[in-house]
Amino acid sequence: EAGVAQSPRYKIIEKRQSVAFWCNPISGHATLYWYQQILGQGPKLLIQFQNNGVVDDSQLPKDRFSAERLKGVDSTLKIQPAKLEDSAVYLCASNGNSYNEQFFGPGTRLTVL
Amino acid sequence: AQRVTQPEKLLSVFKGAPVELKCNYSYSGSPELFWYVQYSRQRLQLLLRHISRESIKGFTADLNKGETSFHLKKPFAQEEDSAMYYCALSGLSGGYNKLIFGAGTRLAVHP
């Protein structure tokens, strides 16, 4: 089966600019996750979707981050405006079974200058 | 609070030596524990889960609820085991499972 797709793979922006990331999960997977992984740390969950509804966004900085999953398939994560501390790898993952295994995309490496 | 602690950032061993990657957790209920691995230039992927009680690529991990630990072990390390290893805990949040990751341990296996 095709894996989780993400784009772009790399992005460099200046602080206060906006950026958007795209994720296409594995076909048929109802649950989609966005993680932020800062250098030297493990992935931290930002938001979790079940189909097109949000089930957990408790760690999403809602003043600058937003995410949507229209039609319960693809998802976009946006940062507006970006700060230096947003420099990280943004991972998308999906899950479609009861065994709780998450399948990860390659990630988008964001550098904020 | 739900937390996963991996005390070692780097574990360096020689080929053929035993390996133990430490993981401790904090969780008030019955946790589900996982080890995820990321090889160089590859995606993060599941290595094993405690409920399966299986050995994957020679690795095993036993959940010790008394010590709240889930250490990953392999009796004889191979060079291809060199990777980043993350311990993760699955806990309920709003009725749905969410993964909480440790900071990771880099395993370097030298020839």
- Partner-chain contact B96 A43, CB within 8 Å: no
* Highest averaged pLDDT of the listed ranges A99-103, B6-10, B87-91: B6-10
B44-80 pLDDT per residue, tens: 999 998 888 788 899 999 899 899 999 999 999 999 9
Given a cut of 90, whether residue A100 has pLDDT beyond it is no
- The conformation of residue A70, written as its DSSP 8-state character, comes to G
Spatial separation of the C-alpha atoms in residues B85 and B17, rounded to whole Å: 17
Given a cut of 60, whether residue A1 has pLDDT beyond it is no
Task: Give the pLDDT mean for A41-45.
Answer: 95
Least Cα distance to A43 among B87, B73, B70 occurs for B87
Closest CB from A31, A44, A100 relative to B90 = A100
Query: According to the model, what pLDDT value does residue B98 have?
Result: 83
Spatial separation of the C-alpha atoms in residues A53 and A81, rounded to whole Å: 24
Please, what sign has the CA dihedral across residues B23, B25, B31, B37? Answer: negative
CA gyration radius for chain A? 13
Closest CB from B98, B101, B102 relative to A48 = B98
**Coil/strand/helix, residue B21:** strand
Spatial separation of the C-alpha atoms in residues B71 and B60, rounded to whole Å: 8
Q: Which residue has the tokens 């599941």?
A: B46
Query: According to the model, what pLDDT value does residue B55 have?
Result: 85
